[in-house]
Amino acid sequence: MLISAIILGIAGGFHCVGMCGPVALMLPVDRNNGKKKALQLASYHLGRIVTYTLIGLLFGTLGLGFRLFGVQQQLSVITGVVMIAIVLLPGLKIPSGVLPAWYFRGIAMVKNRLGAAMKRKSPGTFFAAGFLNGLLPCGMVYMAVLAAMTADEVWKSGLFMAFFGTGTIPLMTVFVYLGNVLKQKARQKLQKLVPVFVIGMGCLFILRGLGLNIPYISPGPVVDEATYHVQCH
């Protein structure tokens, strides 16, 4: 499952180059000191990964509830279907009024604090910027969260999101170094690879949920030990 997280993270990296790239380019990194710049970027990425991990633990707790009700495999199938539907039906939107007002207030607050953090150049600036950036709305993160909820342990959900964040690092780092010379057409070509990754991952999650007894791809149905009753004669 962690390999799935890395692959989804790599796909997220392609997505981030187009969507979150401008934020990364605005980071007040020290462009005249290569070593210092690398440490600043590492701090930024660490901030994002910490956020993703905490989100994974939070939703992993929710996923544990699905496991207790015995519907975790169904959740895996639903996750795969949602991933594929998002790619094949890009016009799908959440109806207005469904999301509560506090959600939008929260996003506005995060954006304001992110903007303030980007103006400073203190030791904690880059970690704070990464932490806050991880809270911004992102379709790829939402898909990763759905996938993380299918883990059979809460800590595994957190680890899944940590690996997802790690998978986004290579392309995001390359973009920070080469973003000014990477043309818009090149970015668009990179983004075209995202649907391929997402559909592939969606198919894997559907197979995983079907319990076809295929090693590493579609394990058989998991029966909780609590469902067994030991009878003594």
- β-partners of residue 218 are 214
Give pLDDT tens digits for 59-86: 999 888 877 777 778 888 888 898 888 8
First to last CA, the chain: 41
Q: For residue 148, what are the contacts with CB-CB under 8 A and spacing of at least 6? A: 5, 56, 59, 60, 63, 157, 158, 160, 161, 164
pLDDT (tens, 9 = 90+) of the chain, 233 residues, equals 778 888 888 888 877 766 666 677 778 788 788 888 889 899 999 999 999 999 999 999 988 887 777 777 888 888 889 888 888 887 666 665 666 788 778 888 888 888 887 777 776 888 998 999 888 888 888 889 988 998 888 999 999 999 999 999 988 888 777 766 566 666 667 677 778 888 888 888 898 888 777 776 666 665 544 444 444 44
- Per-residue confidence (pLDDT) for residue 43, from 0 to 100: 93
Instruction: Using alpha carbons only, give the angle 37, 19, 203 rounded to the nearest 5 degrees.
Output: 115
Long-range (24+ apart) CB contacts under 8 A made by 18-21 are 18/187, 18/188, 18/190, 18/191, 19/138, 20/133, 20/136, 20/138, 20/172, 21/172, 21/175, 21/179, 21/187
Residues 114 and 136 sit within 8 Å (Cβ to Cβ) = yes
Which residue has 């295929």 as its token pair?
Answer: 214
Q: Are residues 166 and 56 in contact, defined by beta-carbon separation less than 8 angstroms?
A: no
- Residues 23 and 82: their CA atoms lie apart, in Å, by 28
